[in-house]
Amino acid sequence: MTTTAQPSRGQILLDRGASLPLILPATLLVLVFLVGPFYYMAYTAMTDLSFANPDQNGAFIGFDNFRKLVREDTIFWGSFWRTIRFVAIAVSIEFVIGFALAWLIWRYVERQRLLTTLLLVPMMLAPVAVGLIWRLLLQGDFGMATHYLRAVGLLSQSSAVFSTPSLVMPTIIAIDVWQWTPFVTLIILAGLMSMPRSPFEAATMDGAGPWRQFFDIMLPLLRPIIALVLLLRGIDAFKEFDKVFIMTGGGPGTVSELLSIYAYRVNFKTWNLGYGAAVSFMVYLVVLILCSVFYKAVYWKSADQRAQA
Amino acid sequence: MYGNGSRLRMLIATSLLATSAALVLVGEAGAWSLEEAAAPYKGTTIRTIGEALPPLEAMKKLAPEFEKRTGITVEIEMYEASETASKVMLDLNSKRGRYDFILQQHRNVGKFVTNGHVEPIEQFMTSAELRDPEFKPEEQLYQGLWKEISWYDGKAYGFPFTALTMYEWYRADLLSDPKEQEGFKAKYGYDLGPAQDWKQYRDIAEWFTRPDQGLYGTAIQGKRHEALWYEWLNFLYSFGGDMLEVKTGSECGPVIVNSPQAIAATEYYKSLMAFSPPDTLNYFWDDVMALMQQGKVAELIMWNDATYAVAVDENVSTVVGKMGFDIVPQGEGGKVAQVEGWSYLIPTAAKNKEAAYLFIQWMMEYDQQLEQHLNGGATPRPDVYASAEVQKLPYAKASMASNEVAKPKPTIPQSSEMTDILVREISSYLADEKTAKEALDESAKEISAVLGSCAPMKYPVQ
C-alpha cells in the first residue's frame, strides 16, 4: 500500500503562482537599485554629458568615449595595469598567509572561537578608518610606525614612506594584506572545519604522508571555498578606493593611481560624467570577465569533478 | 507793525518747523530697515552649505542675531571642501533647490554661470525693498577681489565670502636672532631678513635646515592634492609665468603653462624640497600649518585664512608672537599674489532667494565683516582692514599688500579639469616620474585639448 504525502500549505501557495508577490519586492529593489542604474551608466557612457562644460549637454555620441579610452588614454591604461598588479600581488599574499594561518589554527588551536573573534577586528574597520589610521601611523614627522621603522633601521631618517615613490605601492599592499588576510583565514578555516574526516583516515591507513594528503585530498576538497575567497577578494581589491584615496590621493605622481581613483577624478573632479561612466563601465567589464574566467577555471571544474565522483 | 511782523515770523518759523518735522517723519517711515524688508519672509528657513572652516563657524555664531531681527531661520551645513563641491554640484544639476544660497570656490563660478545654475545679483540689488541703501559694494569692497571672486564675464553673481591669498610666513624670532644673523651674513654675504626674492628665500631655507634639531628651512605641500597647485601658482606667477595668456579669469586664450618662465619656476619649486621635512610629498595645507604651529619650519608660503591659527591662537600654536608675514618674494613677474576666494551665490533653483539675499547683504555689513575677520575670516572690505582691531593682527599688512597685487586665475567652466591635469603632472615631476619640461608640456597639450580652438599652445610641443 502506498501513501501519498499531503502537500503543505506553502507548497500549495507556490503551486498556485502565489510566489510572485513574495519575490516582487526583492525583484523591484534589484531592478531599481542595480539593473536600472547599470543600464543608465551604460547609456551615459555613450553621451558627452558634463556638469562642467555647457557645450557637453548629454548628446549621444555612440562609442566615442570607449574609443578614446582604449586608444588614446594613457592615464587610463597606466591605472589599469597598476590595478591588475595590485590585485594579483595583494590577493596572492593574502591567500598564502590566510591559508597558512587557517591551517595552523585548525591543526593546533583548541579555542578557535576566541581567536577567530580577534581575527575579525581589522576587517570590521571601515576602509576610510583604516586609511586614516595608517596615514597617521606612517606620517613622516610624528607617525608611530615611522618612528619604529626608523629606530630599527628599516627607514632612513631622511625619508618617509608615503613620500618615497618606490615604497608607496608595497606599503598599500601590506596594509591591504593586514586588513583582509583575516577574511581569507576565516573562510578557509570554515572550509577546513567542514571537511569530512574519512578521506584523511583512509589515506593515513593507505600510508599517504601529510604532503600527499594536503595536495591530493585537502586542496581538491577546499577548491570551491578557495575559488569563492579568491573571487570575493579579487573583486574587492579591484574596486579598492577608500584607503588609497585617504593615504595618498593616488600620488605621488601617478604611483598609486588605481582605476577607481582615476574614475573618481574623471567623474567628481572634472565632472566629465559621460567619459567617467565609460571608465566605470570598463571597471565593471574587467571584473565581469575576470569573474567568468575564474569561475569557469576553478569552480565549475570542481563541480564537474564532484559530479563525476 | 512790529506785532504783525513778529506774528508773521513766528508763523513762518512754526510752519518751517512743522514742515521739517513732517519731512523727518516721512523720511523715517520710508527709510530702509532690515526688519521691514524681511517682514514678508518671516518664518521662512534659508539653508546654505560651505567649507567647515573658521569663517563659516564665525558666520554660524553671527546668524542668531539676524534670526532675532528678521524671524528668518538660517541653517548652515558644513563639510570638507571637496564634499561641499560635490553636494552643491548634485543639488544644482538636479535643480532640487535644497540650498537658498551657497558658498563656493570662485573657480566654480564660470561652471555655474554658463550652465545657468546661479542668479545674477543685480536683480536683488536693484530692488528697493531688498537693497540696503547703505550697502555700496562698488565703494566698500576691494574692486579687484570682488570682480575676480564673484563676477563672470562682466556681470556680478554674488559677493566674496572670503577673499583669500597666500603670502610668506616666517619665524621672526629666528630671523632676528643676532647669532643667526651673524652666521648667515658670514655664509651668504648679506643680512638675514624676510626673503624679498627667491635667492634669499632659498638661502634662508638652506640655512635653517637642521634635521638634527627638528628644524627645516621650509615645507612644500607636495601631496597630489589641490594644495600643491595653489602653492605652485605663487612660484609660477612670481617667475613671470601663467597658465593662459588672458586678462581676466573668464577669458579663454593661448596656453602658456610650458613657457620658459613656468619651467624655471617649477624647477625652483622642486629644489626647495631639499629643505623640507622628509614627508613633504605627503603634505597639504593642514600638514604644513601643523608643522609651523609646532615650530618646526623657518619659512613657507601659506594662506591668509590659516594665519590666525598660527599667529594668534595660543591654544593650538607654539609660535604665537614669533611669527612675521610678508608678500611672496619677487621674481621676474614682480610683486604678485594669487587671489582665491569663496563666493556667496544664489542658485536659480533656490526657494527663498530674497531672504537669502537679505542675509548675504547683512553679512557684508561692516560689523559682521569685522567680527568674521577677527575670528579667522578674510574680508573683502578695505575699511575692515583699516580698523584698529584688524591692524593689530600681525598679518594684516601682508594680507592687504597681497590683496592689492592679487592676480586672477581661470574661472572658466573647464578650470577644474585644468587644475586636475596640473596637479597630476606637477606631482609626477616631484615624484621623479618626469622632468619639469615633460610635465608642463603634457599639461599644455591636455589643457589645449580640453579648451579647444580658443586655446592654442603658444609653446608648441614636439
Predicted confidence band of residue B27 (pLDDT cuts 50, 70, 90):
very low
Size of interface A-B (CB pairs under 8 A): 104
CA–CA gap between residue A238 and residue A217 (Å, rounded):
31
Confidence of residue A304 (pLDDT cuts 50, 70, 90): low
Residue A133 within any structural domain of the chain: yes
**H helices of chain A, where?**
9-15, 19-30, 36-44, 64-71, 74-108, 112-124, 127-137, 144-151, 165-193, 198-205, 210-213, 219-238, 242-247, 259-264, 273-294, 301-308
Q: Work out the pLDDT band at B16, boundaries 50, 70, 90.
A: low
Region B34-163+340-407: CATH code = 3.40.190.10
Q: Look up the ipTM and state it.
A: 0.81
Q: How far is CA B265 from CA A251, B238, B330, B426, B439, in A?
A: 21, 8, 12, 11, 13
* Three-state DSSP class for residue B197: strand
- Which residues from chain B sit within 8 angstroms of residue A141, using beta carbons? 277-279, 291, 296
Mean pLDDT of the residues in chain B: 91
For residue A305, the model assigns a pLDDT of 60
Q: How far is A247 from chain B (nearest CA, A)?
A: 8
Residues 6+ apart with CB under 8 A from B363: B59, B62, B66, B344, B369, B372
Q: Region A187-191: what's the mean pLDDT? A: 93
- Mean pLDDT to the nearest integer, B63-88: 94
Distance (Å) from the alpha carbon of A254 to chain B's nearest alpha carbon: 6
Tell me whether residues A249 and B279 touch, CB distance under 8 A: no
Mean pLDDT, range A204-215, rounded to an integer: 89
Contacts of B89 in chain A (CB under 8 A): 51, 271
Percent of chain B with pLDDT over 70: 94
3-state secondary structure of B379: coil
pLDDT single digits (tens) A122-154: 888 888 999 999 999 999 988 999 999 999 999
- Chain B residues whose C-beta is within 8 A of a chain A C-beta are 82, 86, 89, 93, 111, 114-116, 211, 222-225, 277-282, 291, 296, 413-414, 416-417, 420, 424, 427-434
Domain B165-339+411-454 has CATH 3.40.190.10: yes
ω into residue A252 within 30 of 0, thus cis? yes
Least confident of A3-7, A96-100, B85-89, B330-334: A3-7
Catalogue the E-assigned strands of B286-349.
299-303, 323-326, 337-345
Contacts with A252 from chain B: Cβ below 8 Å? 222-224, 281-282, 427-428, 430-431
pLDDT exceeds cutoff 50 at B284: yes
The pLDDT of residue B98: 96
Cα distance between residue B83 and residue B243, in whole Å: 26
B interface test, pick of A53, A134, A144, A256 with most B CB neighbours within 10 Å: A53
Q: Which domain holds residue A263?
A: 64-308
- CB spacing of B417 vs A272 below 8 angstroms: yes
What is the structure's pLDDT at B14? 55
pLDDT tops 90 at residue B408: no
For the record, the C-alpha cell of B138 comes out as 562698488
Q: What is the model's pTM?
A: 0.86
| pLDDT tens-digit map of A67-113 | 999 999 999 999 999 999 999 999 999 999 999 999 999 888 877 77
Segments of chain B assigned to CATH 3.40.190.10: 34-163+340-407, 165-339+411-454
> Over the stretch B168-198, which tens digit does the pLDDT of each residue have?
999 999 999 999 999 999 999 999 999 999 9
- Is the pLDDT reported for residue B376 higher than 70? yes
- Probe site for chain B from A73, A172, A271 (most B CB atoms < 10 A): A271
Q: Model confidence at A191, in pLDDT bands (50, 70, 90)?
A: very high
Reading the block at residue A94, the C-alpha cell is 593574502
Question: Residue B287's pLDDT band (boundaries 50, 70, 90)?
Answer: very high
Report the residue of A76, A254, A261 to disrupt the B interface, i.e. the one with the largest count of B CBs within 10 Å.
A254
Domain count, chain A: 1
Closest partner residue to A54 (CB to CB) among B114, B278, B280 is B114
CA-to-CA distance for A150 and B78, rounded, in angstroms? 39
Q: Is residue A28 part of a domain?
A: no
Pairing of strands B45-51, B73-79: parallel
DSSP letters for A168-202: HHHHHHHHHHHHHHHHHHHHHHHHHHTS-SHHHHH
Q: Can you give the CATH number for the domain in which A115 is found?
A: 1.10.3720.10
Calculate mean pLDDT across residues A162-183: 95
